[in-house]
């Protein structure tokens, strides 16, 4: 397949714009790779001369394996039992001529197939077999027998084996020359790689490094904690130990790079490996999550270790079929599309080919940035980009009327605890009334599936953010009971790593300035999840959820914030102090995913549980005009949440989830 035809395949109708951009990048990489591959193909003249010599050698060897008497060979011998030289030369001449003509017709020597590749074996074998039969027929049918009758048939497999061996040798030499002279700049060439993970990902990565002639990576061994892989060997590479033996293996094998190539790795192991690699002066790379790679495991996808990688990796499986049923061919609207959660929602939703993806946000700069990541363009005049504030009920209704979405993901919210403690009125107007506006517009225009993105701070609220999001869950539950159509649910989860304004960004900024890094309390913990993992589970929860309920994502074990700070400091290589500032108003030492007395029930997904939500109607909420000052806003939300907490229903063990 040519590069142009491959580019056509990678650009099918309806392919999401983000995927098109990745596909174009892949084809550009293939163009560059094609230039390198040409160096692996010797000249056609050289191949013809080599093959001509192989026919002579092959027929001579076959004659020696099957000699006949001088009478049968019609005297074409130099002596008793000797090779019939004249017949051999005549048959070799016929063979070379026929082989060259047929090979040229099939472009066997002109680069139709990469020399030394599996693709070359079939046409090469076919041509050799045809020419051998032709020689045998001429030899038998002619007036004089030139060779022992079976010689051409014996010669065929000999010539094929020799031709393949020569071609493989040519390819191996060319690969060696490319690696030592054209594979990269001098400091990068032949970097010895120790791979963590001898599973499918690690093995495919090693194969990718070896297949690419321009690769600067040279895999030398695997490390794996799975005892079943202790004696595993793959393409000459062996498992030399567990991850705890990294330092010894790296020094023994003179490794330059450590590559994390496993889908499962604990935070402790990840932290230990990166710290030890830094001590040894070894670079650390990581294979991105499989979801981010459109064409399998390739060494070109390797990236530096990022902050979220320090938390380790746990496998997250989702039922792509059921998610596709929810999204494919339907109109989907995302509020807060320019935010960290909203933008990742848009990117993942786009992969399921919705009929239309409507991206709504009040921040035009955020929409501009989202457009650049989605399709590489920044056309804010696109019909699916909507600049709107969820506080504006009239504007919101107009957007819903124009697009009439089937599925709505409500991610727009104010989320910073300390800021909202100072501005409870803003939290009420956006997180409470804004959510009400979204729910009303969705109901009025027939939305079939509405998902409210909540937070773990809503479980047992102790701050304005938690109060406002708890009420938003109640409003969503109430709509699920009263709308008479569709599914209305909330999805609750903890902190998302590397989102705008997260603690990670704060720590990194403090480290860049030379410190100190400030932590509220040495005992404080938080739940963390990467944004891509959170959104994967949000999409899965959207399919599983029962109307009027909330689904809670399994966030794993809470992470000590001071430990996260220490990991970032170690990764920076700087000596920076940690200072403790004390808990601020509204902050807790430990967050909860479930409220006291809130019974959770299992769902069909092991990382998602369901909880009941007390419904809250709009009439239970005061109008902003009736509230004056921060204390009244805070008091109003606290009162509603108090009422909800005293009315928490129980879920039966066998719930409807």
- What lies within 8 Å, CB to CB, of 188 at 6+ separation is 216
Q: Which residue has the tokens 């003249």?
A: 45
Mean pLDDT within 594-617 = 83
- What lies within 8 Å, CB to CB, of 2 at 6+ separation is none
Give residue-wise pLDDT tens across range 182-201: 444 444 447 899 999 988 88
Is the pLDDT reported for residue 2 higher than 50?
no
Number of residues that this document lists for the chain: 657
User: Taking the model in full, what pTM does it have?
Assistant: 0.65
Position 110 scores a pLDDT of: 61
**Segment among 36-40, 157-161, 327-331, 627-631 with least mean pLDDT:** 36-40
Give residue-wise pLDDT tens across range 140-178: 887 777 777 778 888 888 888 888 888 777 777 766 665
Looking at per-residue pLDDT, the higher value among 380 and 339 belongs to 339
513 as an active site residue: the answer is: no
Position 394 scores a pLDDT of: 96
Position 473 scores a pLDDT of: 94
Both tokens of 594, joined, read 């479930």
Q: Around 267, how many Cα atoms within 13 Å sit in the side-chain half-sphere? A: 15
d(CA 230, CA 500): 43
Position 38 scores a pLDDT of: 46
Is the pLDDT reported for residue 464 higher than 50?
yes
* Confidence grade of residue 602 (pLDDT, cut at 50, 70, 90): confident
Cβ atoms within 10 Å of 472's Cβ, excluding its own? 28
Looking at per-residue pLDDT, the higher value among 119 and 655 belongs to 119
Is the pLDDT reported for residue 291 higher than 70?
no
Q: Which residue has the tokens 């993105």?
A: 453
Position 295 scores a pLDDT of: 52
Task: Tell me the β-bridge partners of 331.
Answer: 356
Looking at per-residue pLDDT, the higher value among 413 and 629 belongs to 413
d(CA 185, CA 607): 46
Position 32 scores a pLDDT of: 41
Average pLDDT of every residue of the chain: 80
- What lies within 8 Å, CB to CB, of 155 at 6+ separation is 55, 58, 59, 61, 62, 132
d(CA 487, CA 241): 51
Q: Domains (ranges, CATH) in the chain?
A: 44-176 (no CATH), 191-305 (3.40.50.720), 320-501+529-558+592-645 (3.40.50.720)
Both tokens of 628, joined, read 């004056």
Helices (H) and strands (E) counted in the chain, each on its own, are 21, 22
Position 330 scores a pLDDT of: 95
Of the candidates 529, 528, 550, 544, the residue with the CA atom closest to the CA atom of residue 605? 544
Task: Tell me the β-bridge partners of 304.
Answer: 285
**Segment among 184-193, 238-247, 278-287, 466-475 with least mean pLDDT:** 184-193
Of the candidates 201, 204, 234, 200, the residue with the CA atom closest to the CA atom of residue 220? 234
Position 376 scores a pLDDT of: 65
Is the pLDDT reported for residue 28 higher than 80?
no
Is the pLDDT reported for residue 345 higher than 60?
yes
Burial label for 227, CB within 10 Å (0-12, 13-18, 19+), is exposed
Looking at per-residue pLDDT, the higher value among 326 and 26 belongs to 326
Is the pLDDT reported for residue 283 higher than 70?
yes
Looking at per-residue pLDDT, the higher value among 32 and 619 belongs to 619
**Segment among 370-379, 555-564, 573-582 with least mean pLDDT:** 370-379
Q: Do strands 495-496 and 528-529 pair parallel, antiparallel, or not at all (unpaired)? A: parallel
Looking at per-residue pLDDT, the higher value among 558 and 181 belongs to 558
Active-site hit among 229, 429, 457, 588? 457
Question: Any idea of the CA torsion for 126, 132, 133, 134, to the nearest 10 degrees?
Answer: 110
Is the pLDDT reported for residue 612 higher than 70?
yes
Looking at per-residue pLDDT, the higher value among 394 and 105 belongs to 394
Position 24 scores a pLDDT of: 43
**Segment among 52-61, 77-86, 390-399 with least mean pLDDT:** 77-86
CB 627 within 8 A of CB 428: yes
Position 642 scores a pLDDT of: 79
């Amino acid at each position: 397949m040519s590069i142009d035809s491959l580019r056509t395949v990678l650009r099918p109708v309806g392919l999401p714009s983000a995927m098109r951009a990745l596909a174009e990048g892949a084809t550009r990489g293939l163009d560059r790779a094609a230039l390198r591959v040409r160096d692996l193909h010797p000249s056609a003249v050289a191949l013809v001369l080599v093959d001509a010599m192989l026919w002579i050698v092959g027929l001579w060897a076959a004659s020696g394996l099957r000699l006949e008497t001088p009478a049968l060979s019609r005297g074409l011998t130099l002596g008793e039992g000797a090779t019939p030289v004249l017949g051999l030369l005549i048959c070799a001449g016929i063979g070379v001529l026929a082989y060259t003509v047929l090979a040229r017709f099939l472009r066997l020597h002109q680069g139709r197939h990469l020399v030394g590749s599996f693709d070359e074996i079939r046409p090469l074998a076919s041509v050799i077999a045809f020419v051998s039969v032709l020689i045998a027929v001429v030899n038998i049918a002619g007036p004089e027998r030139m060779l022992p009758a079976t010689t051409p048939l014996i010669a065929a497999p000999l010539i094929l084996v020799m031709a393949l061996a020569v071609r493989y040798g040519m390819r191996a030499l060319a690969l060696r020359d490319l690696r030592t002279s054209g594979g990269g700049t001098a400091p990068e060439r032949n970097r010895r790689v120790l791979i963590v993970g001898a599973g499918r990902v690690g093995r495919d990565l090693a194969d990718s490094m070896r297949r690419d002639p321009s690769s600067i990576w040279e895999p030398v061994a695997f490390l794996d904690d799975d005892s079943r892989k202790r004696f595993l060997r793959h393409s000459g590479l062996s498992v030399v130990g567990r991850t705890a033996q990294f330092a010894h293996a790296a020094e023994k094998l003179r490794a330059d790079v450590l590559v994390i190539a496993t889908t499962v790795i604990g935070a402790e192991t990840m932290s230990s490996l990166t710290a030890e690699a830094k001590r040894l002066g070894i670079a650390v790379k990581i294979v991105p999550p499989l979801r981010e790679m459109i064409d399998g495991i390739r060494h070109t996808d390797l990236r530096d270790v990022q902050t979220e990688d320090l938390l380790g990796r746990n496998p997250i499986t989702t039922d792509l079929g059921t998610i596709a049923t929810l999204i494919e061919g339907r109109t989907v609207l995302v509020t807060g599309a320019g935010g960290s959660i909203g933008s990742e929602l848009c990117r993942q939703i786009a992969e399921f080919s919705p009929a239309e993806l409507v991206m709504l946000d009040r921040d035009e700069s955020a929409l501009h940035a989202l457009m650049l990541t989605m399709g590489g363009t920044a056309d804010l005049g696109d019909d699916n980009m909507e600049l709107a504030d969820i506080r504006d009920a009239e504007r919101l209704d107009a957007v819903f009327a124009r697009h009439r979405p089937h599925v709505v993901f409500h991610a727009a919210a104010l989320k910073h605890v300390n800021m909202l403690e100072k501005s409870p009125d803003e939290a009420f107007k956006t997180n409470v009334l804004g959510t009400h506006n979204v729910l009303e517009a969705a109901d009025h225009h027939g939305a079939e599936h509405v998902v409210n993105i909540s937070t773990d701070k809503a479980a047992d609220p102790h701050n304005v953010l938690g109060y406002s999001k708890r009420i938003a869950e109640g409003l969503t539950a109430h709509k699920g009971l009263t709308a008479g159509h569709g599914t209305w649910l909330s999805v609750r989860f903890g902190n998302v790593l590397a989102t705008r304004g997260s603690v990670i960004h704060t720590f990194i900024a403090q480290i860049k300035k030379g410190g100190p890094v400030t932590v509220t309390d040495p005992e404080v913990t938080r739940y963390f999840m990467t944004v891509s993992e959170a959104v994967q589970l949000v999409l899965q929860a959207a399919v599983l959820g029962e109307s009027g309920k909330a689904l809670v994502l399994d966030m794993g074990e809470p992470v000590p914030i001071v430990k996260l700070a220490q990991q970032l400091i170690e990764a920076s290589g700087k000596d920076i102090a940690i200072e403790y500032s004390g808990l601020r108003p509204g902050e807790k030492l430990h967050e909860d995913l479930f409220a006291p007395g809130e019974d959770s029930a299992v769902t069909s997904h092991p990382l998602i549980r369901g909880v009941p939500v007390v419904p809250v109607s709009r009439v239970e909420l005061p109008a902003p005009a009736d509230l004056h000052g921060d204390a009244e806003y805070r008091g109003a939300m606290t009162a509603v949440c108090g009422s909800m907490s005293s009315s928490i229903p129980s879920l039966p063990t066998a719930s409807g989830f």
